Amino acid sequence: MLWWLLLSHGFGVLLAALSGWRRGMRAGLTVASAAPLATTIWAVDRLVSGTDPETTEVVWVAGLDLVLRFRTDTVALLMTVLVSGIGVLVFAYGTAYFGADAAGRARFPATLLAFSASMLGLVLADSIWTLFVFWELTSITSFLLVGYNSTSDAVMDAARRALMITAGGGLILMVGLLVLAEEAGTSVISEFGAVDGPAASVAAALIMVGAATKSAQIPFHVWLPGAMAAPTPVSAYLHSATMVKAGVFVIAVFGPVFSGNDLWTALGLAFGISSMLWGAIGALRHDDAKLILAWSTVSQLGLMVTLLSLRTPKGVFAAVSILVAHALFKAALFVVVGEIDVRTGTRRITELGGLAISMPIAAAVAIAAGASMAGIPPLLGFAAKEAAVEAALGLEGPMFIVAGLSVIVGAVLTVAYTTRLLIGLLGPGPDVTVAPNRPLLAIPSMALAGAGLLGYLFIDPVNELVVPAAVELDPSADAYALHRWPGPTLGLAVSMVVIVCGLILGTILARRTLAIPRPVGADVADRWLDAIPIVSRTIIGRVQHGSLPIYLATMATVVSLAAAPFALSLPADRIVLWDDPLQAVLAAVIVAVAVAGMFVGSRLGAALTLGAVGICVSGVYILYGAPDLALTQLLVETVVVVGFVLGLGHLARRFPDSPNTWRTIRIGVSLAVGTGVASALAVAGSQPAGQPPIDDLVRLAADDGGGENVVNVILTDIRALDTLGEITVLVVVALGIVALANVRRSEMTT
Amino acid sequence: MIRKRSPMTRISVRLVTPPALLIGLYLLFAGHNNPGGGFAAGLVFGAVVMLRNLAEIEAPRHARKLVALGLLGAVAVAAIPALSGGVLFDQVIGEVEVPVLGKVKGGSALPFDIAVAAIVVGLVVALLDGLAATGGLGRNTRRPMEPNR
């Protein structure tokens, strides 16, 4: 079944591109939503029926452990429901968000579905290779979607920066996974046992850093606000509900493996706490509603990372609950902000106001989703936030107490920025003209926000989804469940204080923008990222300077350096000058022609002398009884001469005068490469090589290949796969030349 | 350089073309048992095409198509036995009775060799034509050339 679903995503990408191209963006997005819809139904069914995890795999190279392997455990299924379920809603929303004739109508639906498929592969992955491949695929599709249909430099920079950080983080993750696999002796994720020791610490640090880049944890968060340049469906889907959760997902999955590792915990807490607090402050510093949501995502992801790093089953359970609740309310908020943007033309809370009256449905959705984010009943966010507060209380050890306090402070700030956002959007303020409603814009946001409300009212089904996933990560988490009303506990009292403090703070800060300067750290990160393209451009400028003589001289020098060790180990006693006097004659001719070539002043003449050298060399092959080689050499020389005649037409007939120093360098390099290659050949030829398997090859060629020319049978039958590889290289070279020549042609005609 | 090709060049290239093509064909088909093969045949064909270009008889065309078709053909030769349950590049050898020539033995190595030849022709043409194009002689701006006279 899993294969069918993955295949249907693959076909869906093609069909979505096709129907988008033929019938427009709406048709493309509608077609694209089919595969995620089927996947959602399948995953919910499996989760509710409690079927045992099922593993499927395709072995690619068994010896190298290269296996495409998937496993449907409860965490993976829960993530699948989020990825595909929210995917369906986002596709539906996209049909209304974009005009029917929007640009990129074939590319956009296809890329969005390709992202959905990559994300699905990532959460279901059960081998480190599978995980890595799909991880990087999500980075690439995210890059394509952020930069979608924009020619502005700022957007391109944002897309490139997101790619550099997330794909670079993917490489770090890969190294960590490799170290871990080496240590654990398996590459199958579900078979990892707890590991310990220095290698495990290295793996833990690398995996944590890799996950932090994807989940936009400080200091890697700098890509997320920039990625808000993407269209709203992309922001809602990738940059709040799913892709940024990939890091949290990896931290959750590998948590049991590193449960005893202090470095893992310390790094997780450092990333989590700083992101949670600084992200929340960031949300108070901006007045673009979408940026507020982006910073709040950084903060919420930090909360999840912190909870996962608490090392308690309560923390794991709370993190999974927040993950689900956050996906619902944050996607809803993004969708509403997108709707506001489409209908009013602005997203700045300083320019908006009174939407409670002019856009009642959007306002209701915003209040429901915002209250869920702030953790106010009766919404799913309240139950999840209760679990988080419970997990933050009663911790031991200074590091964990700081973490617990930070969770509570973060909760206050969350209520504050939510209040500020809602007052900014809905409260009294400047009047804006509002374009008429489009039903499909509202339906997905109502569904997402409504899910938060229904999830609270019918909390038992939610527990059926959340608890098994938490138990999968930590078996003792089965003692916990989400509650509609926890009763008179310390946690509830703390929550009430948090809400009141947050409301007061948010009301004070409403209609104001915190003027906290950017910290030094953020600028440093920015400068580093800006430096990467500059440095690479400088290096390329130095290395690829475009002077052919210098390229040639460099290559020749490297060759002669590589050949130098051979020249030193030349066995003088084993050198045979010739087997046949004719060879000596030919060699003398070759040397004579080559020396004569040095004194030829015309370019064409020099080319012809070179050709003569080549033809004499093919004579040597004949003397050794290698007609195939001689034939090929002869033909290549012919073609090369034709090439010279064609190419030399553009140059002066005679060689230009060159300064003496350059001439000396060239003579030196030529002598070095000549001696080096000659002695390397002499050494190689004088090594005892044993009996070549020529008789076997002749028999094999005659019996299996049906031919008497052994060389040809080797090329076309015995080692045909090698030949296929070689001609593929030839094809690539040919296409490259054609492309380069076309560039020159168009330059010449314009 | 020579701006206008002399009639001598043209005529000698025209005279050389048919025997050169025959030699190429011979190398292609004889390659399995005697010196030759797809690579050598491709070089001969490529040289013929470029000589005709040099002599301004006709401009090369279809280089890219040849390359693409050649690679497709090679992959097909590799994949067809695998898809029908064998291994990649499994050889099928058969004998056919051809009038005049008598019994001719051939295998699926021949189509593979033809594919190699096609790619080499395309490469040679692309390479030499690219060389000719990237300067400033202006010969390439005059394409398509005048029809054969």
Candidates A641, A704, A712: best to mutate against B (most CBs of B within 10 A) is: A712
Contact A748 B71 (CB under 8 A): no
Radius of gyration (C-alpha) of chain A in whole angstroms:
34
Lowest-pLDDT range of A296-300, A335-339, B138-142: B138-142
Contact A643 B136 (CB under 8 A): no
Please indicate if any CB of chain A lies within 8 Å of the CB of B87: no
Of A632, A642, A649, the CB nearest to B1: A649
Chain A residues in contact with B120 by the CB 8 A cut-off are 730
CB A610 within 8 A of CB A590: no
Report the percent of chain A where pLDDT is more than 90.
44
Of A704, A709, A720, the CB nearest to B31: A709
Distance of alpha carbon A289 from alpha carbon A429, whole angstroms: 15
Distance of alpha carbon B14 from alpha carbon B57, whole angstroms: 8
Task: Cis check for the bond before A378: say yes or no (omega within 30 of 0).
Answer: yes
Mean pLDDT (whole number) for A165-173: 93
Minimal CA separation from B33 to chain A, in Å: 4
pLDDT digits (tens, 9 = 90+) for A141-163: 999 998 877 778 888 888 888 99
Predicted confidence at residue A352, as pLDDT, reads: 85
Please indicate if any CB of chain A lies within 8 Å of the CB of B12: no
Q: Which two tokens stand for residue A575?
A: 């050198």
| Band of residue B141 on the pLDDT scale cut at 50, 70, 90 | very low
Is the C-alpha dihedral spanning A64, A69, A75, A78 positive or negative? positive
Of A647, A709, A731, the CB nearest to B135: A647
CB pairs under 8 A between A and B: 174
H/E run at residue A597 = helix A581-599
Predicted confidence at residue B104, as pLDDT, reads: 67
* Closest B-chain CA to A731: B67
Distance of alpha carbon A229 from alpha carbon A235, whole angstroms: 8
Distance of alpha carbon A523 from alpha carbon A525, whole angstroms: 5
Which amino acid appears at position A176 of this protein? Answer: G
Contact B112 A720 (CB under 8 A): yes
Q: Which of residues 642-701 of A touch B (CB under 8 A)?
A: 642-643, 645-651, 653
| Band of residue B103 on the pLDDT scale cut at 50, 70, 90 | low
Predicted confidence at residue B2, as pLDDT, reads: 45
DSSP string, A279-342: HHHHHHH--BHHHHHHHHHHHHHHHHHHHHTT-SHHHHHHHHHHHHHHHHHHHHHHHHHHHHHH
Contact A707 B32 (CB under 8 A): yes
Exposure string over B101-134, b if 16+ CB within 10 A, otherwise e: eeeeebbbbbbbbbbbbbbbbbbbbbbbbbbbbb
Residue A512 clears pLDDT 50, i.e. is over it: yes
Q: Which of residues 109-148 of B touch A (CB under 8 A)?
A: 109, 112-113, 115-116, 119-120, 122-124, 126-137, 139-141
Contact A646 B54 (CB under 8 A): yes
Instruction: Determine phi and psi for A55, rounding to 5 degrees.
Output: -115, 135
Per the listing, tokens 């890509």 go with A223
Mean pLDDT (whole number) for A517-539: 76
H/E run at residue A384 = helix A380-392
Residue A721 clears pLDDT 60, i.e. is over it: yes
- What is this structure's pTM? 0.74
pLDDT digits (tens, 9 = 90+) for A430-454: 777 888 777 777 888 889 889 889 9
Please indicate if any CB of chain B lies within 8 Å of the CB of A602: no
Mean pLDDT (whole number) for A526-530: 78
Distance of alpha carbon A267 from alpha carbon A254, whole angstroms: 14
Please indicate if any CB of chain A lies within 8 Å of the CB of B7: no
Report the percent of chain A where pLDDT is more than 70.
98
CB B31 within 8 A of CB B44: no
Instruction: Determine phi and psi for A399, rounding to 5 degrees.
Output: -60, -45
Of A639, A649, A705, the CB nearest to B135: A649
Report the percent of chain B where pLDDT is more than 90.
25
Chain B residues in contact with A648 by the CB 8 A cut-off are 1
Which amino acid appears at position B141 of this protein? Answer: T
Mean pLDDT (whole number) for A36-55: 88
Among A112, A533, A78, A543, which residue's Cα sits nearest to residue A325?
A78
DSSP string, A202-260: HHHHHHHHHHHHHTT-TTGGGHHHHGGGS-HHHHHIIIIISTTHHHHHHHHHHTTTTTT
CB A633 within 8 A of CB A621: yes
Instruction: Determine phi and psi for A527, rounding to 5 degrees.
Output: -65, -40
Distance of alpha carbon A687 from alpha carbon A571, whole angstroms: 9
| Band of residue A346 on the pLDDT scale cut at 50, 70, 90 | confident
Is the C-alpha dihedral spanning A100, A103, A106, A109 positive or negative? negative
Predicted confidence at residue B149, as pLDDT, reads: 36
Minimal CA separation from B25 to chain A, in Å: 14
* Closest B-chain CA to A716: B109
For A37, A651, B101, the CA distances from A41, given in Å and listed in that order, are 6, 69, 67
Predicted confidence at residue B144, as pLDDT, reads: 41
Of B46, B71, B141, the CB nearest to A731: B71
Predicted confidence at residue B78, as pLDDT, reads: 85
Contact B46 A639 (CB under 8 A): yes
Residue A343 clears pLDDT 60, i.e. is over it: yes
Please indicate if any CB of chain A lies within 8 Å of the CB of B71: yes
Contact A705 B116 (CB under 8 A): no
| Band of residue A387 on the pLDDT scale cut at 50, 70, 90 | very high
Mean pLDDT (whole number) for A155-172: 90
ipTM: 0.81
Per the listing, tokens 């374009």 go with A435
| Band of residue B147 on the pLDDT scale cut at 50, 70, 90 | very low
pLDDT digits (tens, 9 = 90+) for A215-261: 999 888 888 988 888 888 999 998 888 999 999 999 999 999 998 88
Predicted confidence at residue A419, as pLDDT, reads: 94
* Closest B-chain CA to A622: B35
Mean pLDDT (whole number) for A602-615: 91
What are the residues whose beta carbons fall under 8 Å from the beta carbon of A111, sequence distance 6 or more? Answer: A141, A144, A145, A148
Mean pLDDT (whole number) for A684-698: 79
Which amino acid appears at position A7 of this protein? Answer: L
Distance of alpha carbon A566 from alpha carbon B126, whole angstroms: 37
Minimal CA separation from A595 to chain B, in Å: 26
* Closest B-chain CA to A718: B89
Among A585, A472, A214, A728, which residue's Cα sits nearest to residue B115?
A728
DSSP code of residue A478 = G
Per the listing, tokens 């996906």 go with A327
Residue A339 clears pLDDT 60, i.e. is over it: yes
